[in-house]
Structure 1
C-alpha cells in the first residue's frame, strides 16, 4: 500500500502519479520515501545532500558497477563485507585493507603495493554481486613508506632479480663471447673458405665481413633470448631506429658530420700536429670536433673543413712517416761532364748534416733538353724537428758551390729568332767605329775574377757551416700550432689526441759525419 509520502510525491510531480499507478498495477516493489526523494529532487531543481568528504577521499578512486543498479539488494551489506574481508587480504600486493559497506557502496582503506594493485583491487571489488559503487581510498608504498624504506625495498627487489638471473646472465655472456670468437675465426679464414665460390678478392672480403657481422648479431639475439629480454630489447631498438631515422632526415648535415667525426676518431688517419692536404687545403691538424676538422696553415690561417668533406675526400698526410724525399734540378751544358757534376752534387749532399744516409742521396740524368742536360738530385729528410725549407736551401747552396769548384756552370739561356728575310747587321763601338774583333763568349763572367773568387769563397764557407741543428728557426709545424693555440672559436673538445709517436731529432736520425783527414787539414 502506498504511504503518505508516496501520495505526496504523486501530488507534487504530475508524472509521479502515473508512475505510482503503474507500479501498483504491476505489483513492483515501491522504493522507500527517501529513495523517491533522491530521484525526484534533481528533477525539481533541488540539490541532494551529499555526505561530507574526507581528505583521504580526494586521493582515492571511484568505480561504478556495470549494468543496472538494483533498488532492493538481494545480497546484504554484511554478506558483501564478510566476503571481501576474507578475499582481499589474500590478493597479491595488498599489505593491509579495511572494508566497510553501506547500501552497496564499498569503501576500501589500507595499504597496497603500487597504483596498479590499487586499480586491480578496485576492479575486483566492482565485480562482487551487490556492489553498486567502490570508493578505493587505499594508499600505495610511495605514499606510506619513508625514503629509507623505499630504498630498502628497491634494493631488496634488485637483489632478488640478481639472485634469479645471474646464471642466465653468465650463460648469455658466454654465448655472446662465443659468437664473437667464431666471427673472428671465420673472418680470418673467410678468404680461403670463399675462394672456390668467388674469384674476386674484394667480393670475398665484403661477403666475409657481412657473414661475420651476421654471426655476431645471431649470438647477440641468442644471448637476449637466454636472459628472456629479447622482445623488450628489440622493441626498444626498433623504436630507437625509427627515431634515429626521423632525426637523420631532419638533421642530415649535422648527423653526417657527427658520424664522420666518429669514424675519423676511430680510424685516426691523422693526429694533432700532422701536416695534411684535404680538399685542396693544406695545413697542420689542430683539432677534430664533432662538426669540423681544424687546420692551421704555415701562414697562420685557420681552416675549418666539415668532417663529411674530410671523410669523403682524399687525405694526404705528409708527416705520417718519419722521413720524406726532396729533390731539385740543375741544368748543365753539353760540353760539361755530367758524371763529374753528378759526383760533385752527391758528395756535397752526403756531407750535409741534416740529410739522411739511408737511403743515400743520388743524382741522375733527368732529361736531355735543347739548353743542356737536366740533372735531378734526390735525398731524404727527417719530417719532425727540422725546417724543411731551410734544409732544402742549404742543399741547393752546397750543390752550387760543388759545381763551381768543379768548374761546371749552368748553361746560359738562349733566345732563337726566326727571320723570313736577310737583314744586314753592323756592330759599332760606343765611339761609332765598326767592331771587327770577335764578341766575347756568352758564358764569360760578368764580374771581375777577384770578385768571382771572393763570391765563391763566401758561398763555400756558408755551405760548409750550414747545419739544420744549428738553425734557430723553429719547426714550421710546431710554430703553426703555437700561433694557433689561443685561437677563439673552438666550440667543442678535441676528439683527437696529440701525436705521441717517437720523434727522432736530427742528430739521432743522422749523426754528424766525420770529415776526412785531408779536408780537416785544408
Structure 2
C-alpha cells in the first residue's frame, strides 16, 4: 500500500493549467470549488478558503511543505483568480504521534487481506508440488527396481523430486505475486549449489566415489581386500566410506574417495594365492637331492595345490650357503597362508636333518689378537630331540602330521572373521551399497 507521501509525488505533482468553473465565475463559486478539492485530498486540517474580488486567502494546517505549495499552485490556476495569499501553516509532528505507524499497519493489513486468497492458493499449489515430488521419487525407485544400482537409483529419484518441488515453489511465488523473489530463488539455487560444492567438496567427493564404487564393484561384502595398507574383510560401503574388519578384529573406516583412487588388492576374487620362503643348505650338500626332498613334501602336503605348479629354485649363492627359494600355491578360501607356510618350513627342516643336509648360518670371521692361542674343543654330542631325530629314524615319507598343535588348524580364518563381522556393531551408519558375497 503506497503512503500518502508517495501518492503526492506520483499522482498530484501535476496540476491542471486552468480550472474552469462557470463562464462567469464569482467569488463564492471559487471558494466552494477550492474548498471541496482540498478537503478531498485529506492533506489539510482546519482548511478555510476566502475569496474577495478574485483574491484567494488560504488558511489551515498541513503536514508537508509540498502540500502547502500545491494548494497555492491550485488556487493560482483557478479561473478568475487574481492573486493568492497562502497562509496555510505546516504543523509540527509530535514525537508521540503514532499516526504514520498506524497508517502503515493499516495499509499492511489491507494488503494482507487482499492477498489471503492468493496465499491459500499458493499453499495448495505447494502441497500438491510436495506430493507430486514424492510420487515422482517413489515412481523412479519402483520403476527401476533392481535394474539399477541402489545408490544411483536413489540419487536419480532425489534429483527428480527436488526438481519437481522447486518448480512447484516457483509457481507458488508467481501465484502470490512475488515474481521477483521467484527469479531470485531459482537463480540462488545455482549459486547455493556452487557454494555448497566448494564448502563440502570432500563430502561430495566421497558421495560421487561411492556411486562409482557401487557401479564398478571392485569388491563385494565379505571379500578380503587390501586398501592403502589396510587388509581386512569388507563389511559395509556407505555414501561416506568403506568399512573393513582387519585380521585383528578391528574396524577400519576408509573414505570412499581414497578407496576409489587407491590400488585395491582383492584376495577373494581369485582364491588361489602364492607364498614363498627361503632355506639355505651347505655347499657340500647335493642341491638336486635337497630340491627333490622339498618337492616331495610339497607334492604330499594337502594344502599345496598341484596346479598352478609349485617351484623349488636355486635363488643365490650366499657366503656360506646355497639358498633355495620355494614357491607354492594354496586355496586362500580354504587355508590360512601363514599356517601353511609354517607347516612347510617345519617339515623341510626335519627332512633335511634326517638326510644330513646341513643348514649353516652365514659365515662369520672372528679375529683374535696376535699371541692369543686358540684350541679347538671336542665336538659336543648331538642333542636328540623330536625335531632332531637319530640317524636310525626312517626317511620322511609324508606320513607325519601336516600340522602341530601350536600351528593349529590350517583352515582359513576368513569364515571366523565374517562371523565376527556379523556379530559386531559396524560403526558406520547408513545403507549398505554393495551386495553380499555369495561365497
TM-score tier (shorter): 0.5 to 0.7
Alpha-carbon deviations, 1:255-300, whole Å to 9, x = none? 1111111111211222222222222322222211111111211111
Match of 2:273 in 1: 324
CA contact (8 A) 1:352 1:467 kept: no
Distance across 1 between alignment mates of 2:300 and 2:392: 18
More helix by share: 1
1:53-202 to 2 correspondence within 5 Å?
Answer: none
Query: 1:255 & 1:242 partners in 2: Cα distance?
Result: 16
1:370 aligns with 2:307: no
The normalised TM-score by structure 2 is 0.55
Distance in 1 separating the partners of 2:431 and 2:256 = 15
Map residues 85-484 of structure 1 onto 2, 5 A cutoff.
243-418=192-367, 422-425=370-373, 427=375, 439-440=377-378, 446-448=382-384, 452-453=388-389, 464-466=400-402, 472=409, 475-484=412-421
- Unmatched runs of 5 consecutive residues or more in structure 1: 1-19, 47-135, 144-150, 152-235, 428-437, 504-522
State the partner residue of 1:187.
none
Question: Unaligned regions of 5+ residues in structure 2, if any?
Answer: 1-17, 47-113, 122-127, 129-184
Alpha-carbon distance in 2 for matches of 1:21, 1:353 = 122
Give TM-score, length-normalised by structure 1.
Answer: 0.47
Question: Paired residues, what number?
Answer: 290
2:433 equivalent to 1:495: yes
In the alignment, the residues of structure 2 paired with residue 479 and residue 297 of structure 1 have an alpha-carbon distance, to the nearest angstrom, of 12
Q: Following the alignment from structure 1 to structure 2, what is the Cα–Cα distance between the partners of residues 388 and 246?
A: 51
Cα deviation, residue 251, structure 1:
0.6
Correspondence 1:40 to 2:39: yes
SS in 1 for 2:302: coil
How far has the Cα of 1:462 moved from its partner? 9.2
CA contact (8 A) 2:235 2:245 kept: yes
Cα separation, partners in 2 of 1:329 and 1:473, compared to 1, 3 Å: closer
CA distance in 1, matches of 2:221, 2:197: 29
Contact 1:331 1:372 in 2 (8 A): yes
Distance 1:21 1:362 in 2: 121
How large is the Cα RMSD of the aligned pairs? 4.6
CA distance in 2, matches of 1:307, 1:338: 51
2:235–2:243: 8 Å Cα contact kept in structure 1?
yes
Q: Is the 8 Å Cα contact of residues 206 and 239 (structure 2) preserved in structure 1?
A: yes
List per-residue Cα deviations over 1:374-400 (Å, max 9, x = no partner): 001111011212222222222222222
- TM-aligned CA distance change 1:352 to 1:21, over 3 Å: closer
Structure-2 separation of matches of 1:450 and 1:467:
14
For residue 422 of structure 1, give the secondary structure of its aligned residue in structure 2. Answer: coil
For CA contacts below 8 A with separation 6 or more, give which structure has more relative contact order. 2
What residue number does 2:106 align with? none
Change (3 A) 1:459 1:389: farther
Q: Is the 8 A contact 1:362 1:378 kept in 2?
A: yes
Shift of the 463–423 alpha-carbon distance from structure 1 to 2, 3 Å rule, reads farther
| 2:314–2:322 Cα contact (<8 Å) kept | yes
Q: Aligned equivalents of 1:450 and 1:309: distance in 2?
A: 51
Using the TM superposition, give the Cα deviation of residue 418 of structure 1 relative to its aligned residue in structure 2, in angstroms: 3.5
Aligned to 1:7: none
Match of 1:24 in 2: 22
Q: Distance in 1 between matches of 2:289 and 2:269?
A: 36
Looking at structure 2, the residues matched to 277 and 381 of structure 1 have their Cα atoms a distance apart, in angstroms, of 19
1:343 shift after superposition = 0.3
CA separation of 1:463 and 1:416: change in aligned 2, threshold 3 A = farther
Pick closer, same or farther for the CA change 1:391–1:457 going to 2, 3 Å.
farther
Matches of 2:233 and 2:393, distance apart in 1? 39
